[in-house]
């Protein structure tokens, strides 16, 4: 199944790369902050067809296919603990970057078995870099094991965050940037939560925090960080679960100190 996920991510990456900076259709979804392209939809269909050809009995949860039906999405995630195989896919994480001709987008594919993340793949098609992890087997990039940063001094660390389409989430991020901006070396926002988490897993960034996310944005990245020796929780400090919309991922040394400066947003949990 891991090899299937890797191949699906690479095939989707070829499609995405071939259309980059070309003409494509862009539409607004929930607001001007939230957009989709026809390439997102084509990528998701390619991934779904590829996976389902090998595993027709598995369940599939894709961002574009699921958009607009919050009730069905909630039901799927609530019942994930009863599903033996649930694929969770973001066909282009970082669509705003993609649509504006900017780097910083990725393909994210995760698999949950009875609600537990068991594999995750994140592919950066522009740089042709593939990250992957399997439950209990570590996290990898380019055939080499990766691990989170061991830095315990926040003043020497790069942190990252991102902006969702939810205005309350954006406000919370801006407030926390003001707090962390006085403590850390610098803060980055590349526009893809999946890539941010891959950078945490590989030790390039010490921590990533964000509000107002969806499961397909972060499922693969969560497993990467965990398998790379890091810790992932929601803003209440509880271990990440598939229904969480806010996330903090870091090494274990920094996690508690960072969490102390963050507040949960109950209304969008």
Tell me the per-residue pLDDT of 100-159, one tens digit each, with 9 for 90 and over: 999 999 999 999 999 999 999 999 999 999 999 999 999 999 889 999 999 999 999 999
Confidence category of residue 268, pLDDT binned at 50, 70, 90: very low
Q: What is the mean pLDDT of residues 72-81?
A: 88
Question: Residue 116, Cβ neighbours under 10 Å: how many?
Answer: 13
What pLDDT score was predicted for residue 26? 82
- pTM of the model as a whole: 0.94
What pLDDT score was predicted for residue 35? 74
What pLDDT score was predicted for residue 72? 83
48/71 Cα distance (integer angstroms): 21
Residue 17, classed as helix, strand or coil, is: helix
The residue with tokens 């229904």 is 243
The answer to whether 91 and 2 have CB atoms below 8 angstroms apart is no
The answer to whether 86 and 28 have CB atoms below 8 angstroms apart is no
Residue environment code for 48-62, b if the CB has 16+ CB neighbours within 10 A, otherwise e = bebbeeeeeeebbbb
Q: What is the mean pLDDT of residues 245-254?
A: 95
Query: Is the predicted pLDDT of residue 269 greater than 50, yes or no?
Result: no
What pLDDT score was predicted for residue 25? 81
pLDDT in tens, 4-47: 999 999 999 999 999 998 877 888 776 667 778 899 999 999 99
48/266 Cα distance (integer angstroms): 33
Query: Is the predicted pLDDT of residue 2 greater than 70, yes or no?
Result: yes
| Token pair recorded at residue 84 | 């033996």
What pLDDT score was predicted for residue 90? 97
What pLDDT score was predicted for residue 260? 95
- Classify residue 266 as left (phi > 0), alpha (psi -120 to 50) or beta: alpha
Q: What is the DSSP string of 169-188?
A: HHHHHHHHHHHHTTTSSEEE
């Amino acid at each position: 199944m891991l090899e299937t996920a890797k191949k699906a991510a690479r095939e989707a990456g070829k499609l995405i790369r071939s259309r980059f900076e070309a003409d494509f259709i862009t539409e607004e979804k929930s607001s001007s902050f939230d957009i989709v392209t026809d390439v997102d939809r084509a990528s998701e269909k390619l991934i779904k067809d590829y996976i389902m050809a090998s595993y027709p009995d598995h369940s599939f949860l894709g961002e574009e296919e699921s958009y607009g039906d919050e009730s069905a999405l909630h039901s799927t995630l609530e019942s994930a603990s009863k599903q033996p195989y649930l694929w969770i896919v973001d066909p282009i994480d970082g669509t705003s970057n993609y649509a504006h001709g900017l780097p910083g987008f990725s393909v994210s594919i995760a698999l949950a078995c009875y609600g537990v993340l068991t594999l995750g793949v994140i592919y950066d098609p522009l740089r042709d870099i593939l990250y992957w992890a399997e439950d209990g087997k570590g996290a990898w990039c380019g055939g080499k094991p990766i691990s989170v940063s061991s830095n315990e001094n926040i003043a020497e660390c790069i942190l990252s965050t991102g902006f969702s389409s939810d205005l309350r989430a954006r406000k919370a991020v801006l407030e926390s940037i003001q707090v962390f901006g006085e403590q850390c070396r610098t803060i980055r926002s590349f526009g893809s939560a999946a890539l941010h988490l891959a950078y945490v897993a590989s030790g390039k960034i010490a921590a990533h925090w964000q509000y107002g996310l969806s499961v397909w944005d972060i499922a693969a990245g969560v497993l990467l960080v965990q398998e790379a020796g890091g810790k992932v929780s929601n803003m209440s400090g509880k271990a990440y679960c598939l229904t969480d919309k806010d996330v903090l991922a870091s090494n274990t040394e920094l996690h508690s100190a960072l969490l102390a400066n963050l507040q949960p947003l109950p209304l969008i949990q």
